Amino acid sequence: MLDFALSAFVTLLLVVDPVGLAPAFLAATGGMPDKVKRTIALRAPLIAASILVVIALVGNWLLRQLGIGIPAFQIAGGLLLFGVSYQMIFGDRPHREAREADKATSEHASDVAVFPLAIPMMAGPGAIATTLLLAGDAGYGAKLALIIAVVLSVCLLCMLCFASAALIARTLGRTGNAVLSRVLGMLLAAYSVQFVINGIAAVRAGLP
């Protein structure tokens, strides 16, 4: 159970990357009063957590209604996460997220806590796919409760990183942020390949 919880936490942590979201938070809240920034730092993770918890609770039911087996979703989700990891390693994910946040702010988005911070930066396709994969492996009961606890823990870390975003940005700098993104991308790539391997193994085990 401990290994399952640790694996789930690390996987979702790599996908969401709370530290890497600090520049995006600064871009989205640039020029706002400190009180408003604190409110957004609190609201955005709560909104993202609500979305991911609902996904965890109804994910298995949704897959059954769509006639999608867990192995198929493991393979598809693994490929999607590999795409995310590829962007982290060879792309410009931290700077792209900051640009998206800056664009949303310049367009006078009504609530940057909802968009772009909660969606799609925290509860984006990668995080949703990861939550569905983990919930599918967990089933119901104690393991599902662990998944919900993991979601809440990662969102709490996002809240802490948003609250100290200025300090993180100064400490890491552009080079440090790029290095961190690529190291986490490598780890996420390994996790995503493992999801695909597990899905293929489950399919082969089910063959006559």
| Per-residue model confidence as pLDDT tens digits over 62-104 | 878 888 877 887 788 788 878 878 877 886 655 556 555 555 5
Q: Identify the CA nearest to 196 among candidates 184, 204, 206.
A: 204
Q: Which of 146, 132, 141 is nearest to 199 (CA)?
A: 132
Q: What is the pLDDT of residue 9?
A: 95
Please check whether residue 98 lies inside any domain of the structure: no
Q: Which of the listed ranges 112-121, 158-167, 185-194 does the model predict with the highest average pLDDT? A: 158-167
Could you list the residue range(s) of the whole structural domain that residue 65 is in? 1-92+105-200
On whether residue 113 sits in a domain, the answer given is yes
Other CB atoms within 10 A of residue 175 CB: 8
* Residue 208 within any structural domain of the chain: no
The pLDDT value given to residue 96: 59
Q: What are the pLDDT digits (tens) for 108-130? A: 444 788 987 898 789 987 898 88
On whether residue 144 sits in a domain, the answer given is: yes
For 185, residues 6+ apart whose C-beta sits below 8 A from its C-beta are: 85, 86, 87, 88, 89, 93
Place of tokens 């006639």: 67
Query: Quick check: is 97 in a domain?
Result: no
Provide the number of structural domains found in the chain.
Answer: 1
- Higher pLDDT, residue 23 or 10: 10
